[in-house]
C-alpha cells in the first residue's frame, strides 16, 4: 500500500510538471523578445546628441533597426545583422560596429516574423500603408511591433539630419534643414516600428518608417513614398529596454 501511494505521488508530480510546461501557440503570439532603444527621445528632442551607448553593446543582440550616430555624424540602418553607416555622401561602412561607434538614439531588435502578408497593387503613401497595416496589429495598447516591408518603389523620399556641433540646437530646428534624398524606380526595404502610447515618455509613439535600397547606398527616415507589390513580415514584442539614457535632461 505504501509503495502504491509513493508511485501515485510520483505520477501526480509528473502530470503537474507536464501541464505547467505546456505552451500554446496562438496566431500572432507575443514572444519574450525585446526591442532595444539607445537613449531617451525626450533628451534627444531637447538637444542631447552626444553618444550615450556604444553600438557594440547591442550588436550581438539585434539584426534589424535604425538610429543616429553621435552628434548626427551618420545615419544607421541595421538589416540582416549588418550595420550600415551612411551620410549625405552615401555608404561609409557596412559590417559590425566599431567600439568608438556610439549612438544618441536608436531602435533595434532581433527580428522575427509572426505573420506574412502580401499587398498587391499600388500603395500611394505612408498614410495608406499605415491603414493597410493596422488591422494586422492585434494589440496596439501593450504590444510593440517590428515590420519589414520589401517592395518596388516608384518613388521614395528620405531624410537624415546633418552633423551637429555644440552648442546643439533643439531637434525641431535640426529637422528643418536635413539632407533629403529622392529616389525613383528602385527596390528596397522599409524598416518599420509601431510603438504604443504607453511608451510616450521615452520614445515617439505610433509608426516609424526608415528605408534602405537594395544597393545599400541610400538610407533615411521616410518622408513620402509610392510602391507596388509589397511583401510584409510582422513581429510582435513584449518589452522595450532602454540603454544609456541621460541622467539629466536639458531644460
Spatial distance between the Cα atoms of 8 and 76, rounded to a whole number of angstroms? 60
What phi, psi does 128 have (nearest 5°)?
-65, -40
The DSSP string of 156-180 is EEEEEPPP--SSPPPHHHHTTS-EE
The pairing of beta strand 75-79 with beta strand 82-87:
antiparallel
| Class of the CATH domain delimited by 31-243 | alpha beta
Residues in a beta bridge with 109: 35, 64
For 171-200, the pLDDT digits (tens) are 999 999 899 999 999 999 999 999 999 999
Q: Which residues pair with 76 in a beta bridge?
A: 67, 85
Looking from the CA of 171 toward its CB, the CA atoms found within 13 Å total 17
pTM of the complete model: 0.84
CA R_g for the chain: 22
Residues in the chain: 251
pLDDT tens figures, 51-98: 999 999 999 999 999 999 999 999 999 999 999 998 888 888 889 898
Q: Angle 222-228-234 (CA atoms, 0-180°, nearest 5)?
A: 65
Amino acid at each position: 500500500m505504501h509503495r502504491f501511494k509513493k508511485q501515485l505521488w510520483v505520477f501526480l508530480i509528473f502530470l503537474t510538471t507536464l501541464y505547467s510546461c505546456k505552451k500554446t501557440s496562438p496566431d500572432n503570439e507575443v514572444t519574450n523578445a525585446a526591442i532595444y532603444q539607445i537613449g531617451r527621445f525626450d533628451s534627444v528632442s531637447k538637444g542631447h546628441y552626444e553618444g550615450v551607448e556604444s553600438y557594440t553593446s547591442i550588436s550581438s543582440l539585434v539584426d534589424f533597426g535604425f538610429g543616429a550616430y553621435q552628434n548626427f555624424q551618420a545615419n544607421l540602418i541595421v538589416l540582416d545583422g549588418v550595420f550600415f553607416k551612411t551620410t549625405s555622401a552615401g555608404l561609409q561602412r557596412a559590417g559590425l560596429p566599431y567600439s568608438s561607434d556610439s549612438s544618441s538614439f536608436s531602435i533595434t531588435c532581433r527580428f522575427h516574423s509572426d505573420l506574412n502578408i502580401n499587398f498587391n497593387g499600388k500603395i500611394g503613401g505612408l498614410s495608406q500603408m499605415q491603414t493597410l497595416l493596422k488591422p494586422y496589429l492585434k494589440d496596439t495598447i501593450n504590444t510593440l511591433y517590428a515590420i519589414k516591408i520589401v517592395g518596388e518603389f516608384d518613388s521614395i523620399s528620405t531624410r537624415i539630419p546633418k552633423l551637429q556641433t555644440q552648442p546643439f540646437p533643439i531637434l525641431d530646428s535640426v529637422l528643418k534643414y536635413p539632407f533629403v534624398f529622392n529616389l525613383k524606380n528602385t527596390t528596397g526595404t522599409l524598416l518599420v516600428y509601431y510603438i504604443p502610447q504607453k511608451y510616450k515618455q521615452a520614445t515617439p509613439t505610433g509608426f516609424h518608417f526608415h528605408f534602405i535600397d537594395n544597393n545599400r547606398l541610400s538610407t533615411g527616415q521616410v518622408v513620402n513614398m509610392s510602391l507596388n507589390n509589397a511583401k510584409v513580415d510582422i513581429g510582435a514584442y513584449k518589452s522595450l529596454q532602454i540603454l544609456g539614457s541621460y541622467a539629466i535632461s536639458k531644460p
